């Protein structure tokens, strides 16, 4: 089996295992109607978004949507737990960081528009922070940040 086939199989597995039940039903319906595997739709959509971002068409909206949709779902899932844990802290830290990036982006809009590849870099940073396989914000210590802010 080639590397591409293995990657597509892994993607298919993640789509069907990690998705909520209503989405699984939609994916199955799309596959039945089109006779095309859902992983090809996911890859096509990702490539289309990447083309739009690199072309600068709707890049701000796309980066904010990527930075909001999955984290909002994951945060609500974590907050349903009876007792807070490290994931709760990580998601709250993510939202502070997401808000700070948005604030800085708005304040320095003229400067941001002149930075080449700003939105692809922003999306990469957001994905690094939010995706569980990278655990980007698990290294962040909110208590140390608050203490540092109090010193200044």
125 and 82 together in one domain: yes
Q: Identify whether residues 99 and 142 lie together within a single domain.
A: yes
Percent of the chain clearing pLDDT 90 (strictly above): 33
Same domain assignment for residues 10 and 41: yes
The stretch 75-91 carries a mean pLDDT of 84
pLDDT band, residue 41 (cuts 50/70/90): confident
Q: What is the mean pLDDT of residues 14-28?
A: 80
Residue bearing the bigger pLDDT, 37 or 15: 37
Q: What is the pTM of this model?
A: 0.76
**Around Cβ 8, how many Cβ atoms within 10 Å?**
17
Domain limits for position 44: 1-55
- Predicted confidence band of residue 142 (pLDDT cuts 50, 70, 90): low
How is residue 23 written in tokens? 């989405």
Query: CA-to-CA distance for 133 and 13, rounded, in angstroms?
Result: 16
In a shared domain, residues 101 and 111: yes
Among residues 27, 55, 83, the one where a domain terminates is: 55
Mean pLDDT, range 99-123, rounded to an integer:
91
Is the same domain home to 48 and 71? no
């Amino acid at each position: 089996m080639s590397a591409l086939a293995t990657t597509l199989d892994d993607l298919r597995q993640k789509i069907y295992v990690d998705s909520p039940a209503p989405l699984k039903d939609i994916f199955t319906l799309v596959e039945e109607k089109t006779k095309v595997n859902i992983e090809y739709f996911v890859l096509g959509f990702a490539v289309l978004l990447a083309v739009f971002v690199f072309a600068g068409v709707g890049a701000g909206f796309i980066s904010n949507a990527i930075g909001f949709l999955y984290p909002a779902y994951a945060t609500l899932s974590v907050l349903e737990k009876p007792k807070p844990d490290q994931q709760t802290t990580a998601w709250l830290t993510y939202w502070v960081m997401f808000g700070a990036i948005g604030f800085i982006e708005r304040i320095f809009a003229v400067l941001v528009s002149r930075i080449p590849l700003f939105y692809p870099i922003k999306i990469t940073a957001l994905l690094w922070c939010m995706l569980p396989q990278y655990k980007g914000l698990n290294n962040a210590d909110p208590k140390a940040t608050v203490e540092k802010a109090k010193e200044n």
